[in-house]
Amino acid sequence: MIPDIQNSDYIEKSGKHYVAMIDEFQLRSAFQPVISLIHNRPVGYEGLVRPFYNGKGTTPDKLFSALGGNAFASELDRTCRTLHIMNAGLTVGAESNSWLFLNVDANTIMEDFYSPEEVKKAFEPMGFRPEHVVLEILEKNIEDRQQLTEFVRHYKEVGFKIALDDFGAGESNLERIHTIHPSIVKLDRSIIQDLAGGHNGVNVLKRVVSLLREMGSMVLIEGVETEEQALLVMETEADLVQGFYFSKPVLGSPPEDQGEAKRQIKKISLLQKSVARKRMEFEERLEAQLKDVFENAVACGNQGLQAISDAMFESKHVLRFYVLDHQGFQIGETVSNPNKKHADTQYHPLQKMEGACWARRDFFVQALRHPTETYFSAPYLSLPEETLSVTLSATFKDEKKRLRVLCADVDAMALNRITSKAVKKASRTITSRQKAVKAPKAVAKTAQKAPKKIQK
């Protein structure tokens, strides 16, 4: 069981805060803000352990190894959690609306399986109700999936929030989320780090976040360390965010002054709004150019394929086009842009496209539903070259006045590279302007203080 707060064997007061003394190690709490992107402020704090050996900082791995590894894991896990509860209670608790995020070791989960009420009692002396507490589970370390599901159910019934930690790393998958229904899913830091440098990072992260939210969980993106990563997160519908960019972990207790985090949130929010506006303006111009080319090709529909081809391939971004009948079946083979290098798909099983049925695809459905408009699809993997594409579609009448749907695949990766480059340039420009505006204010403040110093 989690030990009673009042009777911890290892915890003692040291100055203003509590520490845990285990052999030669001193364990101290550190708290990092968890920020709501909707409320623009910290709404919780994650308790993290910071071990010291003979007065010098060391790593949790060295602590774990020195204390005998798994043999002491559960007791160490409970001690750290109790330490965080006691330190957090010094500044947050019953009077606060903040969540306290606490990591739970797999071994502890198995041992405390039927103890939610006992765990609840451990929090009460410091003023924490279960609704204040988010238990973070690293589910890949738990072999018994059924027991994990039951654990989550028991603790949620008492009132605890459950967070699935490091989703996207190791063996994590959507089936786990569907099974245990966590309150919060924390995306592993590797996801934001990998996607921030990619030209399609925004679109991919948006879809991941959207899918997780549709499955009934809030999404927390952790490991946000740079302005570029923060801007990427702000483009999504993520609920919560955490990382060094907003605030580093603070030793002791959760800080009562939230100034640093709030300043960073305000800064990135203003920057994101400006960058998003620039992105939208650029994308609209790019789409308008593509739309003009495409609609010129549509207007040539009654003149045959050659006329369509001549008009369509005026844009270097168009990869290919094809024509569908009113039922969604492809008429003839796909026509590729002769000015672009294409992958050799001669022997590809999906090479022959004549007669293919596209009736279930949005670009066909929307073209028929809105016959006077040009439809732009979301980016997707198109066949047979397996390229990331956006499809433009619209209806037209061929030489024999038959209803047809013209579809053109545009190189989405090329468009993403162009947009990404433009957005990064805009971001640098906006940031430079913000710094230029702040500089005179800083000089003015210094000048105002100077006379007072002289008078002294």
Per-residue pLDDT of 45-79, as tens digits, reads 999 999 999 889 988 888 877 776 666 777 888 88
DSSP type of residue 288: H
In whole angstroms, what separates CA 135 from the centre of its chain? 20
Sign of CA dihedral 177, 179, 181, 182: negative
C-alpha distances out from residue 443 to 264, 447, 448, 449, Å: 22, 6, 9, 10
Burial class (CB in 10 A: 0-12, 13-18, 19+), 309: middle
Per-residue model confidence as pLDDT tens digits over 20-50: 998 889 999 999 999 998 888 899 999 999 9
Share of the chain residues as helix, strand and coil, in percent rounded to the nearest 5: 45, 25, 30
Residues 442 and 284: their CA atoms lie apart, in Å, by: 38
Nearest to 197 by CA among 433, 417, 364, 446: 417
pLDDT 10s digits, 288-343: 999 999 999 999 999 999 999 999 999 999 999 999 999 999 999 999 999 877 66
CA distances from 36 to 143, 164, 241 (A): 32, 18, 7
Q: CA dist 47 to 6, 44, 144, 339, 380, Å?
A: 19, 10, 26, 58, 40
Ranges of each domain in the chain: 5-257, 293-343+351-415
Which pLDDT band holds residue 245 (cuts at 50, 70, 90)?
very high
> Hey, do 5-257 and 293-343+351-415 end up sharing a CATH topology, with the first three levels equal?
no
CB 394 within 8 A of CB 374: yes
> How long a stretch of residues is the chain?
456
pLDDT at 449 over 80: no
pLDDT at 408 over 60: yes
> What percent of the chain stands above pLDDT 90?
40
Per-residue three-class SS string for 177-229: HHHHCCCEEEECHHHHHHHHCCCCHHHHHHHHHHHHHHCCCEEEECCCCCHHH
Q: Report the first-to-last Cα separation within the chain, whole angstroms.
A: 62
The stretch 236-246 carries a mean pLDDT of 93
Alpha carbon separation from 213 to 185, 219, 442 (Å, rounded): 9, 7, 43
CB 421 within 8 A of CB 282: no
pTM of the model: 0.78
Least confident stretch, 68-77, 175-184, 222-231, 326-335 = 68-77
Query: How confident is the prediction for the chain on average, in pLDDT?
Result: 83
> Which has the higher per-residue pLDDT, 74 or 215?
215
Confidence at residue 350, expressed as pLDDT on a 0 to 100 scale: 67
Residues 456, 450: Cα–Cα separation, whole Å:
10
Q: Looking at the domain that runs over 293-343+351-415, which CATH code has it been given?
A: 3.30.450.20
What is the identity of the amino acid at 61?
D
Instruction: Please tell me the distance from the alpha carbon of residue 371 to that of residue 243, in angstroms, as a whole number.
Output: 48
Find tokens 């956006």 and name the residue: 390
Q: If residue 429 lies in a helix (H) or strand (E), which one and from where to where?
A: helix 412-455
Q: Indicate the fold that domain 5-257 takes in CATH.
A: TIM Barrel (3.20.20)
The confidence band for 225, taking pLDDT boundaries of 50, 70 and 90, is: very high
pLDDT at 107 over 90: no
pLDDT tens digits for range 274-293: 888 888 888 899 999 999 99
Give 214's contacts (C-beta < 8 A, 6+ positions apart).
none
Question: In this structure, what is the dihedral angle of CA atoms 235, 241, 247, 252, given to the nearest 10 degrees?
Answer: 170
Looking at per-residue pLDDT, the higher value among 125 and 404 belongs to 404
